[in-house]
Amino acid sequence: MTADTRPLILHVIHHLVVGGMENGLVNLINRMPQECLRHAVACIEDYSDFRQRITRADTEVIALHRAKIGVWKLRNELLQLCRRLQPRVVHSRNLSGLDALAPAKLAGVRHCIHGEHGWDMDDLYGTRWRPAILRRLHSPLVDRYIVVSKDLERYLTQRVGIAAGRISQIYNGVDTERFAPHSTGAGNGLPAEFAEQDTFVIGTVGRIQPVKDQFTLLKAFAELVQSNARLRLAVIGDGPLLGDLRRFAETLGIAKLTWLPGAIGNIPDALRSFDIFVLPSLSEGISNTILEAMASGVPVVATAAGGNLELIEDGYCGRLFPPGDVATLVRLLAAYILDPSLRQAHASAAREVAVQRFSLDTMVRKYQEIYLGLCGEKGAA
């Protein structure tokens, strides 16, 4: 059997589960031309059935279970994995991915890339010293950094002390064919009672965890529905706080007007069914769900946090509000509800921005150029 000479990229992430960063990785692997590169994914902890979204049969996914085996055994497992796979490049992501850098170098991996994709709940604004110091200590092992936002680029240069010339900033990309306005002007991804002609649907998609702060959205909806009984709220996504969120909807008296299904499979149809998309996160890198909503032709109301400010031009394709500010969120949503022409103008602008600035093909091409450049392959930038 002839040996496969295509360079291998070993991606190291915390979990391969439903999430924005994970979705971006899956898109990257699936979309990159197979003749150029091979891929493998090492999960510091584990993976879920989300792993099945990787359509390439040549992509191995390995779970390492750090919580069970401890950090030192994890590093040994990573060392042995790198020796077995012999990747040309190791691409680690976020804080837990730093554990892969020293084992990769010890195994003889020539090039290491480290990516930053967002903030942890205990360090929402990058102010803690310990994570910054850990990143700084590992910096000699990194050949190139990739960040998804200019906000994260500033963090690396100003807080961690990484030279700007070592950093590439690549925005997440969205599939503007899969995520697109419905040809008839309406979607069909919601329950029948949400699709009635006179209903107005406010929706969000994201993992139900503290940093996403869907509780603020529920509070705002509870105020709005007091004066407009045709409103409905869809909160799509799974996570550790889903049960708490459902109970909170009961407490607010809005459970019958709210759909909290957990994870669903037809996200594009659901997004097309929204009249407004809301992202109430306390902090963000570059939100894939914002990009998907924009590509679907839906105006976005999001927090003025992190990379959100780089995606949404306030007053043009959406609106921004301070994290946790229920009163401002109520006011912005009410303006859209009362003014269909404003809503349509921002919806059209959102679609245009997604197509022109944030295409998936552009994202894949930029990653491919970096990988091929480090591998010394033809076709690199």
Q: Is 229 exposed, middle or buried (0-12, 13-18, 19+ CB in 10 A)?
A: exposed
pLDDT score for 380? 43
H or E element at residue 334: helix 326-338
User: Consecutive sets of 10 residues in the chain, 381 residues long: mean pLDDT of each?
Assistant: 85 91 93 94 96 95 97 97 97 96 97 92 82 96 96 95 97 93 67 85 95 97 95 95 97 97 91 96 91 96 95 96 98 97 97 94 94 76 39
Q: Among candidates 173, 206, 208, 179, which has minimal Cα distance to 24? A: 173
pLDDT score for 185? 47
Q: Among candidates 107, 42, 143, 92, which has minimal Cα distance to 370? A: 143
SS3 state at 69: helix
pLDDT score for 150? 93
pLDDT score for 381? 39
Instruction: Please tell us whether the domain made up of 8-173+359-375 is placed in CATH 3.40.50.2000.
Output: yes
Half-sphere exposure of 198 (CA within 13 A, CB side): 3
Domain 8-173+359-375 matches domain 192-357 at the CATH topology level? yes
pLDDT score for 377? 65
pLDDT score for 228? 94
Instruction: Please tell us whether the domain made up of 192-357 is placed in CATH 3.40.50.2000.
Output: yes
- Domain extents for the chain? 8-173+359-375, 192-357
Q: What is the DSSP letter of 305?
A: -
* CA–CA dist 145, 168 (Å, integer): 6
